Amino acid sequence: QASRLVELPYSSFDDDDDGDTAEQNSGVWTPDPPKLSPFSRCVRYLAFLWNLLFLLLGLLTLAVGVWGLLAKSPLSGGERGVPLGSDPMLLFVLAGLGASAVSLAGCLGAFRASPCLLRFFLGAVLAFGGLQVLGGLLLLLARRQLRDALQDLLLLCLLRYQEDPDLQFLVDEVQRSLQCCGLQSYHDWESNPYFNCSAPGAQACGVPASCCQDPLESGSVPNVQCGFGVLGLGAAAAGAVVHTGGCGAALGAWLRGQAGAIAADAAALLLVEAVGALLALRVLGDI
């Protein structure tokens, strides 16, 4: 019987087959992940470019805000005339930082196929859109309070006209474009300590040049003294030099006339946010 045992020839293919089988059974070998369809790849590229555009806009807004802050407070150590907390340029900085951070998360989330970044982007967009809708509803429900707050803001701008260059620019643009002067009338400038008739200096009993009906006075350079002494004139004489109507009523009428354009801009912004959210949802679903 022992002589009848025949030793079978050894084959190396047996080890290879056993190795492949063991590798498959151990779970080391996995099939290739399913490839994205052309439409899914297009959506991913579009989501990346969409967020890249808003990233650049956010960085531009941030640069404008930082430039405005540095222009008022140079790095050389000059004294700052406007508190940082009340500087309007701080709004540009905060808006630019927020937009840049959210857009960067959307870009990296679409490029790296990161579910965490995409979820953060979606949450930020939904939160911002919800705040917009809530703000619009509050504006509709509290129009009277908004008008009172706007008048208080205009009065504050009049009082701090010489102290804040941003407020000075804002007041001059409003008075020049709406052809008005003061809050209720041009006499409101008497509450300003520099234009009050009892104040020392050449500006006493006067109004800013933006109140004048013809600040150029047939010239090419505005005459900054065209409103001097107007508060000491009668109503008829003052009306021949400056606009006597207040900016409160004029600004309210302008806002009512621009209500349709403001609503259209808000709807367009919501649509842009919705498109970005839908693209991110599609990429997240593919992941």
For residue range 176-198, list pLDDT tens digits in order: 888 889 888 888 898 888 888 88
Q: What's the number of domains the chain is made of?
A: 2
Asked whether residue 170 is assigned to any structural domain, the reply reads: yes
Whether 233 contacts 262, CB under 8 Å = no
Task: Give, as one character, the DSSP assignment of residue 85.
Answer: G
Same domain, 144 and 268: yes
Query: For residue 2, is it within any domain?
Result: no
Contact assessment for residue 181 and residue 242, using Cβ atoms and an 8 Å cutoff: yes
Instruction: Clarify whether residues 145 and 268 are in a common domain.
Output: yes
* The pLDDT value given to residue 16: 46
**Cα 197 from chain centroid (whole Å):** 41
Q: Is residue 62 located within the same domain as residue 198?
A: no
Please give the chain's pLDDT, 287 residues, in tens: 444 444 444 444 344 445 444 444 444 554 555 566 677 788 788 888 888 988 999 899 889 888 877 776 644 444 545 555 556 778 888 888 988 998 898 888 888 888 888 889 888 888 988 888 888 787 777 777 777 777 777 788 888 888 877 788 888 888 888 888 988 888 889 888 888 888 888 888 889 888 998 877 666 677 788 888 888 888 888 888 898 888 888 888 887 888 788 888 888 888 888 888 888 888 888 77
Do 269 and 184 fall within a single domain? no
Asked, for residue 10, whether it belongs to a domain, the answer is: no
Residues 177, 95 share a domain: no
- Same domain for 109 and 143, yes or no, is yes
Quick check: is 6 in a domain?
no
What six digits make up the tokens of 26?
A: 């151990």
Same-domain check for residues 238 and 178: yes
Q: Is residue 83 included in any domain, yes or no?
A: no
pTM of this structure = 0.64
Structure-token pair, residue 77: 């150590």
SS3 for 101-155, per residue?
HHHHHHHHHHHHCCHHHHHHHHHHHHHHHHHHHHHHHHHHHCHHHHHHHHHHHHH
Do 102 and 219 lie in one domain? The reply is no
- Boundaries of domain holding 176: 163-253
53 and 186 co-located in one domain: no
